[in-house]
């Protein structure tokens, strides 16, 4: 399984960014694609997840109302839309897949390479 994340960058506070994650090599169903972020000196923080089969979304309270998650099953791609970005959203964002507990990083089997999101004031 390979996950290719894209879409990070530098944005001013209040702006928006859209992250995509294309998954290849998923041989069967039941996967959830999750998004985590890691700021310097901190552990992975759950941000959002979506069932690739049923499309059910999960959003962390810290970003609820600002971030949304969706998927394009035809392309096995997950999308994290981030609006009203704040400086403390600055982190490296990772996509990953699991067939288990969606909010726990340790349950994810495959990870993308990470993409930097920097929010300036």
Residue 113 in this model has a pLDDT that exceeds 90: yes
User: What's the pLDDT at 90?
Assistant: 97
Residues 6-40 as b/e (b if ≥16 CB within 10 A, e otherwise) read: ebbeebeeeeebebbbbbeebeeeebbbbbbbeee
User: What's the pLDDT at 27?
Assistant: 81
User: What's the pLDDT at 30?
Assistant: 87
Residue-wise pLDDT tens digits, 18-50: 999 999 998 878 899 999 999 999 999 999 999
**Overall average pLDDT of the 95-120 stretch:** 95
Distance (Å, whole) CA 63 – CA 48? 8
Distance (Å, whole) CA 80 – CA 19? 5
Beta strands 9-12; 115-120: pairing state: parallel
Closest-CA residue to 28 (of 64, 49, 1, 7) = 1
Residue 103 makes CB contacts below 8 A (sequence gap 6+) with 34, 46, 49, 58, 60
**Overall average pLDDT of the 89-116 stretch:** 95
3-state helix, strand, coil in the chain (%, to 5): 5, 50, 40
**Overall average pLDDT of the 91-99 stretch:** 97
Residue-wise pLDDT tens digits, 35-92: 999 999 999 999 999 999 899 999 999 999 999 999 987 778 999 999 999 999 999 9
């Amino acid at each position: 399984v390979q996950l290719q994340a894209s879409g990070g960058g530098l944005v001013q506070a209040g702006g928006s960014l859209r992250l995509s994650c294309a998954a290849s090599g998923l041989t069967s169903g039941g996967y959830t694609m999750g998004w985590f972020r890691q700021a310097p000196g901190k552990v992975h923080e759950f941000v959002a997840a979506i069932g690739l089969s049923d499309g059910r979304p999960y959003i962390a309270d810290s970003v609820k109302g600002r971030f949304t998650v969706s998927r394009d099953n035809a392309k096995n791609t997950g999308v994290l839309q981030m609006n009203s970005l704040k400086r403390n959203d600055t982190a490296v964002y990772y996509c990953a897949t699991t067939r288990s507990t969606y909010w726990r990083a340790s349950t994810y089997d495959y990870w993308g390479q990470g993409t930097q999101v920097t929010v300036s004031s």
